[in-house]
Structure 1
């Protein structure tokens, strides 16, 4: 192996290792999404506000660390950063079942574990987005993102059902043990990747504030990136406001058991799988920008079905809402993530991704807190109505933006050159 950076393919060993590790970790996250609130609801008897707070503290680190993380990741090799983050997450989430079995688990412990895991996620996600173009060429990024998003969607299908089975068989904390072990698998897979990263560009180191500002300026001066960031923030407030209280809603308001909750959320996850299958087809037929717009605008009204959910057959409202909404959101996410990776300059991609993520994931922290607070004050079903209405209104941002007049998202000169070179070689 030479010291030169190597770009493999979506069928190559390096990407397959990366993909398998990510898939295992995502499956653990899919379990934890249900297991963590179930621990709070069933084991610690937490109220709705605390359940929403769990989601909020997991994403709060984006508001604190997101911007400097982008600059730090652009200065460092990405793989060692991800390895360290996997190790930290393993310890954080592994401590919860250990404390539970010792009889000393508390709500503050859950909150601290979620916060530490969130800090690790900030650096891992930022490094992951900047690392993927090292493994794949520009022409392969859409397929690579689709596979990774497919893994996430599959994990969202399998994870909740598996969480329900683990909770019933071994107790709620068993799901968090599975999540911790998934980070160990991810660490082992990343450790086995042999791709040599290109060294960070030899540029004069400047003050961290200046480097962070470079990413923010690029993001907000570009009308497409700016629009996507603002829409993502408003949409994430609405979607997280709903998802942060969905377990409490299904268990306490609808009266569903743990296994039924897992089954319902598993069926909802099928929407993500559908979105993966649709992303490439709709982008080829309608163009990338138009396809993203169609998917988001078409998905939003499905969320209005969530608050209509009732016991028995009434659970179908929740499932249909989850499938329809998830399909559109996931398809649009694949298309827009690929656009950012192809469009942003390589030496700025960490900072630009982090700047967008601070806005997007910071909004998740707000949404989790807002959902929990409104659920406690106004009622869980009423909160679902408010948040689903906000999600529908958020699409106005896209409809009155420059994206509405585009067929395809713009591409950088680097991506255009790579595409033309590929045509010549074929």
Structure 2
């Protein structure tokens, strides 16, 4: 591990009382900051491109939906292949820098085409798809580079920072993107996004971690990630919980705004409070996970966080009464669910990183992205069917019970016996 360029020793004791000790390590701090602003840039792009399509090109609802899908489709199409490529190529830091620079180049073509009068929906589709594909490579590299910068004993606290900034980007990115578009116009707002990717690349260029060597992959390199996961029962259990929780939460979230507006008749400001509560809960979860894992163990933190993530949502189908009361039900549900999500995600990511050898880390992360993202479109489709057939409240109960069953089925696995992070699997 490379932990050079530490903060001066005389200042460590004072700073440690204010900031997490990991942030005193300059290489990790720069990696974390680069990752944070790159993820924030992703979210700004995700919002700014559809707004540009609507405001500048008068796009229809169908065109906007295609544009949004183009940005997320690479997760399903390329995650496995990107994992193989990252393991084979190595040099994760250089790949992350390259993806940042390429995304900056792609995004700058949008305002240039706009000013030249050449901007079209086809152009936006290509930019969304390619930036989404590069984001997949960046995410896999970031996960692999993490273990070159962080000692095993610090995995949970480091993941608390990384995951906290990731979910912060989901909370702050859309609002920042909307504000930039309103203040600067859509095409110019993307230039701020270009700057964020350039800043991320510069930060990554300033660190020199000792990365693991390239992996030698055979003909069945795509299967090797799946084969490794099947041979490690705890990892397979973790992936199944991830997929199940994402699937059932997507059923809930797909219908949430419809439920809040049509059945509870909540005003827009109340739905905003509800969604903000989920982001606040995620940040609280990031702050408390290290203490939770030290108190109950990393395995029970993963399982208990997953149980709270879906279990707290039982408050949604019983929400009723005047606006203030119904809003209160949903705000508490989202707040507790956000806390559970972060505890589960941070503990689970730490378990996955501890179990996975460097030689298959990229491929395992690629499989994880397929599990994690592949269940969401299915959940969204089923939400419409169940909502029409059973009604919204009953569908919410089905989603909550389904998520809880996913967690309960994994309780007998070796995960519950993990007090500390497990040793690397053979």
Common fold by TM > 0.5: yes
Choose the corresponding residue for 1:398, options 379, 404, 407. Answer: 407
Partner of 2:244 in structure 1? Answer: 234
Partner of 1:288 in structure 2? Answer: 298
Partner of 1:165 in structure 2? Answer: 179
**SS state of the match for residue 358, structure 2?**
coil
Partner of 2:104 in structure 1? Answer: 90
Instruction: Report the alpha carbon displacement of residue 231 of structure 1 after superposing the two structures with TM.
Output: 2.4
The answer to whether the 8 Å contact 2:274/2:334 transfers is no
Instruction: Report the alpha carbon displacement of residue 242 of structure 1 after superposing the two structures with TM.
Output: 5.7
The answer to whether the 8 Å contact 1:126/1:354 transfers is yes
Change over 3 Å in CA distance of 1:249–1:396 after alignment to 2: closer
The answer to whether the 8 Å contact 1:271/1:322 transfers is yes
- Pick which of 81-90 and 98-107 moved more: 98-107
In angstroms, what is the RMSD of aligned CA positions?
A: 3.9
Question: Does residue 335 in structure 1 map to residue 347 in structure 2?
Answer: yes
Partner of 2:149 in structure 1? Answer: 135
Partner of 2:15 in structure 1? Answer: none
Distance 2:379 2:194 in 1: 25
Instruction: Report the alpha carbon displacement of residue 176 of structure 1 after superposing the two structures with TM.
Output: 4.7
Give aligned pairs, total: 401
The answer to whether the 8 Å contact 1:234/1:391 transfers is no
Distance 2:124 2:362 in 1: 30
Partner of 1:23 in structure 2? Answer: 36
- Pick which of 103-112 and 80-89 moved more: 103-112
Q: Which runs of 5+ in 2 are unaligned?
A: 7-21
The answer to whether the 8 Å contact 2:104/2:198 transfers is yes
Higher relative contact order (CA 8 A, sep 6+): 1
Where do 1:18-97 residues align within 5 Å?
18-32=31-45, 34-35=47-48, 44=58, 46-47=60-61, 53-76=66-89, 77-97=91-111
Question: Does residue 347 in structure 1 map to residue 359 in structure 2?
Answer: yes
**SS state of the match for residue 195, structure 1?**
coil
The answer to whether the 8 Å contact 1:296/1:328 transfers is yes
- Once the two structures are superposed, residues 73-130 of structure 1 have per-residue CA deviations (whole angstroms, 9 ceiling, x without a partner) of 1112111211122123223444445555666655554443332222112211111111
Distance 2:86 2:345 in 1: 22
Partner of 2:14 in structure 1? Answer: none
Where do 1:255-274 residues align within 5 Å?
265-274=275-284
Question: Does residue 149 in structure 1 map to residue 163 in structure 2?
Answer: yes
Distance 1:115 1:310 in 2: 44
Partner of 2:211 in structure 1? Answer: 197
Distance 1:93 1:312 in 2: 42
Q: Which runs of 5+ in 1 are unaligned?
A: 416-426
**SS state of the match for residue 347, structure 1?**
helix
Change over 3 Å in CA distance of 1:282–1:38 after alignment to 2: farther
Partner of 2:333 in structure 1? Answer: 321
Change over 3 Å in CA distance of 1:384–1:52 after alignment to 2: farther
The answer to whether the 8 Å contact 1:255/1:311 transfers is no
- Pick which of 213-222 and 126-135 moved more: 213-222
Distance 1:187 1:310 in 2: 51
Distance 2:251 2:51 in 1: 17
